[in-house]
Amino acid sequence: MIETLRVEPGKKAEIAHRDPADTLGTDGKDAGKKRLETLHEQLGLLHDRLYAEGRHSVLLVLQGLDASGKDGVIRSVLTGLNPQGCRVVSFKAPSSTELAHDYLWRVQAVLPARGEIVIFNRSHYEDVVAVRMLELAPEQVWKRRPDHIREWERMLSDEETTIVKVFLNVSEDEQRRRLQERVDDPEKRWKFRKDDLKVRQRFDEYVGAWEDVINATSSEWAPWYVVPADHNWVKALGVAELLVDALERVDPKLPDPEPGVEGLEIT
């Protein structure tokens, strides 16, 4: 299943040909939710070991258009994790201090420490896509960034950071429904920005810009995955599968106990 989500390095993501309403071969929502519970248990165990070992770190990058459900995925994944060893970082438009530095400066500062899992809600990829679409810098500036990012991520991977990059693939129609819900529901209204509609009007263009950067930066050391996002339970399941798979590949080991601890009786 993970293989079908993966954007093979050197191949095209073909986002437009992927079904946002796909259910990942599960036997419906109930079966999917059962599987999710199991995955959360596995996540908890693996995360405890990662934290105890303190050697490797994990970075989950979450991208997706407005209302693709990044916040919901974060909430779901976190139920499986130990709050002590994890952090969520949300990236907004850069501040003036951040703009006074190179674009990776603010990102570098919040990377996971050894033993930690960090989830990026948006990321350095906005420095390619948002900058391109909103014309915040000339083309020559954002065009060279995917090359920097590939090499920077290679360095992170060499230094024991496992990187999992996810694009939540929501359909135009489901996005409309969710944005409408934000307008209609007083509890959700704060999330709605009228500017989101300007972005929505360029839905295909945005997907195209994501496709370009995903194609350019899906690498062996930091692959992209396109996760169907029209069903909330499916996107939660897809991301949990990816994280468990990543942690299993890290295969963190508990540190050896002090000599003489085994069999000790506490009086």
**Bridge partner residues of 6 (DSSP):** 225
Question: Any idea which residue has 């970075």 for tokens?
Answer: 59
Which span sits near ligand AMP by CB under 6 A: 14-22, 90-98, 137-145, 176-184?
Answer: 90-98
Q: Would the CA dihedral through 227, 231, 234, 236 be positive or negative?
A: positive
Is residue 94 near ligand AMP by the rule CB under 6 A? yes
Is residue 92 near ligand AMP by the rule CB under 6 A? yes
Radius of gyration in angstroms for the set of CA atoms belonging to the chain, rounded to a whole number: 19
* Residues 6 or more apart whose Cβ sits within 8 Å of residue 169: 15, 18, 20, 64, 68, 226, 227, 228, 229
Task: Tell me whether residue 56 or residue 70 sits nearer to ligand AMP (CB atom).
Answer: 70
Total chain residues near ligand AMP (CB under 6 A): 10
Q: Which of 6, 29, 87, 122 binds ligand AMP (CB under 6 A)?
A: 122
Is residue 120 near ligand AMP by the rule CB under 6 A? no
Minimum Å gap between C-beta 131 and ligand AMP is: 6
Is residue 130 near ligand AMP by the rule CB under 6 A? yes
Q: Which of 116, 127, 211, 230 binds ligand AMP (CB under 6 A)?
A: 127
For residue 78, CA distances in Å to 11, 74, 95, 231, 264 come to 31, 6, 28, 19, 35
Is residue 91 near ligand AMP by the rule CB under 6 A? yes
Start-to-end CA distance of the chain, whole Å, equals: 51
Q: Which two tokens stand for residue 199?
A: 């972005």
Is residue 222 near ligand AMP by the rule CB under 6 A? no
Which span sits near ligand AMP by CB under 6 A: 23-31, 128-136, 171-179, 236-244?
Answer: 128-136
Minimum Å gap between C-beta 180 and ligand AMP is: 16
Reference 167, options 117, 196, 140, 128; nearest CA is 128
Which span sits near ligand AMP by CB under 6 A: 75-83, 129-137, 151-159, 256-264?
Answer: 129-137
Reference 124, options 148, 100, 140; nearest CA is 148
Positions that interact with ligand AMP (CB under 6 A):
91-94, 122, 126-127, 130-131, 136
